[in-house]
A and B are shown apart, each in its own frame.
Chain A
Amino acid sequence: MKGCAEWKMLNRRSFIAKTGLGVGAMALADPVLHTVASTYGETKGGTGDLLVLCQLNGGFDVLSFLAPYKNSVYRSKRPVLALTAEDLTPLPDNGDHGINNLFPVFNQLYSEGQVAIVQQVGYPDANGSHFESQEIYEFGVRNLTGTNGVGAKWYERLRKTYFDEPFGVLDTRSVGDPQRYGYPDRTYRQAAQDAFGRLSAGRETTNPKRQAIHDAFNRINVRGAQIREKTEGFESSGELTGEFFRAAQLASAGLGTQVIKLSYGGFDTHGSQDQAMLDLFPKLNDHFAQFVQDMKNMGMWERTCVCFYSEFGRRNEENGSPGTDHGHGGHMILVGPRVNGGLHGQTVSTGDLNEPSLPFYVDFRAVFASCIQDWLGFDAKPVFEVGGETYDTNIGSSLFS
């Protein structure tokens, strides 16, 4: 299984370059490789690489990830929560800032030039509601009402525009356990599963809610058969079975997937944040570390970029709980072998820390747009320039090398 995973990841361009035509012709006779070669990215000029979106729900406290630990304003605003020199590893290229030691895999990869941190990202007129801000990030528009773009998440717009494949974008939450994907049948001859499929196949009603149920049933039947088969042989390098495990499992399937969306929750640390981080951060770190190892084992890490983001950052000053309330700007973190490692955006300054919350200097859509253009190889305009909205596309540096 692992032996052929690398082959599956090759798109037609590199496939031909690396193997030559003779082997390629043979490979195309193989049904699995044929599927990959025909669906993987190449259709409208994409690179065929994999983008993993990891949403940190609740409002990730970026000042506890990358701490300006020498700054006196930071220390005075966070008497309990400020990280000290023992809690972090200073960046090799900027000793005034350090990554929390609860994130060893990020420290390691940063030192290898595989982590790009885009600092102080957000959008105009920050909204303090989790729900609304998450929607802004998911839909990729600032104005959620009265725009044409609303109704589809931006990565769904991307899929529909460039690679309209059933598996082009997979959300780990909606897939769940790939091996249990389908109507749970315990009859002889799959009588119930067959019937479940036939009761919805081709059905059309004028009621949109009822139609949505038929559509969901059809989706389960069609996708289930393929996903069950293709993920059967996956073996992880570790024991953890969180969302990143699912992401590696789905990536292994070679279903033409270009975007995998997943999320980790619990980052809404209004109280006892120092304690909460001891659970939250190592969990995220360990799950992600296992994912990196799995992707390396399958020979797919070279083709992977993981983007971490959250609906907003948290307040600069801690509250009495001790925790932090909802803030504005936050960092987006890109990890992968081909990102332009280092700090991007505006490095957090004393002026920024004197504000109640970090301001935003880079629009989050600019970062996603760079992932679309510079990593996946598609034009981002149709994805983010919807409903008459415009945004500042400037990041100030290149996120990919």
Chain B
Amino acid sequence: MSYTTRLLCYVAITLMTVTGCTSSDPNATGNPSTGDGAGGIFDGSGATEGTGEAAGSQSLAKQPDQLTSDQAYHLLRRAAFGATPEQVEQAVQRGLTATVDDLLRKKPVPAQWEELAELHEDKIPQRWMVFLLESPNPLHERLALFWHDRFATSRRILSGRDRNLGVIHWNMIREQSLGNYRTFLQELTIDPLMLMWLNGASSPKDNPNENYAREFWELFTLGRDVLYTETDIKESTKAFTGITLLRESEKDARPIYDILNHDTTIKKILPTRVEAGDYDYLGMIDLTLDQPEAAQYVARNLFITFVHDHPSDAVVNDLARTFADADFEIEPVVRRILTSQALFSQDAVGNQITSPVEHVVGVFRTLDMHMHSEDSQGHILDQLMRDLRDSGQDMLNPPGVEGWTEGEAWLEDQWIINRAGALSRRMEFGPDRTTELPYHLLPPVETWDQREIRGEIVDTIASWFHLKLTEEDRAIYIEVLDQNGWRAFHLTEPDQQPRHLAELIRLMAMSEGVIVR
């Protein structure tokens, strides 16, 4: 454990800085062992199709490069929230590999979005929404949102001068979202907001706090009750002792190692697997990642968020091997998942219920509707984020340490109602508070006084979302344009038409086929 003491030996009297040392220490990582006695964990010869399941649903074999339009939209909804008709067409032209390569390549964010986001200072939901809607790196943002759910922390413990710690945390998870998992955990453990949220900063050796140690395993690395016992938690808590926060300025809090409060005794952590030793937090991260269950846990979660919720053990083990072989780089795992047959199998397509944020962001990315300057849209983001909070997803304020409950849990009645509100919020506030519509994707305004335009409009909107409408549904949507027989759309005054159209777009965006992806 030489790296463990590396940090400590710098300590002159009591305090030393932790930040900067960890990320610049390339020797801190070694090749993870696969453990022994864990028969079958890494012996999978590639995943094979399970019996009785849809073809390819458990296959990591590469999907053919040629994509249909529906497949391209599916990929972009899963990896990038949504896509405009033009982006879908581009993906079809490029093929799967090039599209995924492009998604993984991080591009510079135009300064206008950085500037717009910064106007919202420490309001993370608003700032984040700018990037979710506008960033040229939607996959990185999508993964950051995923990690935020897994590494849930909350701004609700922050008050006054502490609020900037939320910004530091948010920048960290966005920076690390497609990086190295070991580095990520190192950064996470000494992240100021995390140190406050799970009490890592108030765990001196004489009175240690178990909160971080427990969640580190349960939520971040192994899963609930995997490998560890309550005794292990008590022992591992000792390894995490001694980290605390130093406030040097209004906007910063620096994690420091308070050596007098670090427990330097020999710890017996996971004794059947790991030698007893004087572990510190870096040692805890390494010994945990040395367990094959850790790579499996993370690989399983990544598969589930992109593909479907029932990966076979063979798939998980195969992905875990990719993960461990790449020394816990996240990108190769994501690349395999996004190019796998499983992603395009019947078990996956249309079989995930989106969270409110993913849904709303996906709709507006599909509609090719963009933010304007702060001046023209006033408080749109404040209101949108309030709607999303009331839809069950208040970013940086999860319901608890385990993040949000995904899937059908999003279908609380009132949450659905507020989702519909969030969708219209964005369209209500064009420049000067006019109704804003994606005019460039719709039939030309000059044709809106023609009788047939109603069906054409419905079909056009359905095509953006790749919805296959039945005749019955199509008729219902046309009736909405006609306001239930109040006045046919093509006869409606031109200044009223956008409002009616916005109602239709919202209703179609709220349909079951758009809420799933």
Contact = CB atoms under 8 A, between A and B. Distances in A.
Given A131-B402, A184-B420, A207 B224 contact: no
A16 interface: no
Contact of B480 (A58, A177, A187, A212): A187
Residue picked from A173, A176, A223, A319, most chain B C-beta under 10 Å: A319
Interface string A180-199: 11111011111110111011
A187 B400 contact: no
Interface string B434-465: 00000000000000000000000000000000
Contacts of A190: 484
B485 A209 contact: no
Nearest to A214: B512
A391 interface: no
Contact of A191 (B351, B417, B486): B486
Interface residue tally on A, bucketed by range: 35 or more
Contact of B199 (A128, A174, A321): A321
Given A216-B411, A223-B413, A194 B484 contact: yes
A129 B413 contact: no
Given A184-B421, A194-B484, A265-B399, A200 B512 contact: yes
Contacts of A186: 424, 499, 503
Given A191-B483, A195-B479, A271-B202, A213 B515 contact: yes
Nearest to A200: B512
Given A195-B476, A209-B407, A270 B413 contact: no
A220 B515 contact: no
Nearest to A173: B412
Contacts of B503: 186-187, 191-192
A173 B500 CA distance: 32
A76 to B, nearest CB: 14
A223 B414 CA distance: 11
A132 interface: yes
Interface in A55-108: 57-58
Contacts of A210: 350, 512-513, 516
B218 interface: yes
B307 interface: no
Contacts of A220: 413, 416-417
B274 to A, nearest CB: 21
Contacts of B473: 199
A198 B209 contact: no
Given A183-B420, A192-B507, A128 B230 contact: yes
B8 interface: no
A313 interface: no
Contact of B353 (A198, A212, A214, A270): A212
Contacts of A128: 214, 230, 233
Contacts of B203: 319-321
Residue picked from B204, B225, B485, B507, most chain A C-beta under 10 Å: B507
A27 interface: no
B510 interface: yes
Interface string A274-292: 0000000000000000000
Contacts of B224: 129, 131-132
A323 interface: yes
A247 B413 CA distance: 16
Given A213-B512, A219-B413, A191 B484 contact: yes
A311 to B, nearest CB: 11
Nearest to B349: A207
A187 B476 contact: no
Interface string B405-441: 0011001111111101100100000000000000000
B208 interface: yes
Given A180-B414, A191-B479, A325-B211, A265 B400 contact: yes
A271 B503 CA distance: 48
Given A191-B480, A271-B202, A183 B210 contact: no
Interface in B288-309: none
A302 B210 CA distance: 44
B51 interface: no
A321 B420 CA distance: 43
Interface in A191-232: 191-192, 194-196, 198-200, 207, 209-210, 212-214, 216-217, 219-220, 223-224
B59 interface: no
A212 B206 CA distance: 51
Contacts of A160: none
A142 interface: no
Nearest to A321: B202
Nearest to A318: B207
B516 A195 contact: no
B417 A174 contact: no
A130 B402 contact: yes
A326 interface: yes
B401 interface: yes
Contacts of B421: 184
B214 to A, nearest CB: 7
Contacts of A173: 412, 414
A209 B408 contact: yes
B477 interface: yes
Given A186-B503, A195-B477, A196-B510, A213 B484 contact: no
Contacts of B513: 210
A175 interface: yes
Contacts of B418: 176
A7 to B, nearest CB: 28
B99 interface: no
Contacts of B210: 325-326
Nearest to B309: A209
Interface in B180-214: 196, 198-199, 202-204, 206-211, 214
B66 interface: no
B339 interface: no
Nearest to A211: B512
Interface of B: 196, 198-199, 202-204, 206-211, 214, 218, 224-225, 230, 233, 350-353, 390, 399-402, 407-408, 411-418, 420-421, 424, 473, 476-477, 479-480, 482-487, 499-500, 503, 506-507, 510-513, 515-516
26 contacts: A129-B214, A130-B400, A173-B414, A174-B412, A176-B412, A176-B413, A184-B420, A184-B421, A186-B499, A187-B484, A187-B500, A189-B485, A191-B480, A195-B477, A198-B476, A207-B351, A209-B516, A210-B350, A210-B512, A216-B411, A217-B416, A271-B199, A320-B204, A321-B209, A323-B202, A323-B209
7 residue pairs, one from A and one from B, having the closest CB atoms: A176-B414, A320-B207, A191-B484, A321-B202, A189-B484, A216-B411, A213-B512
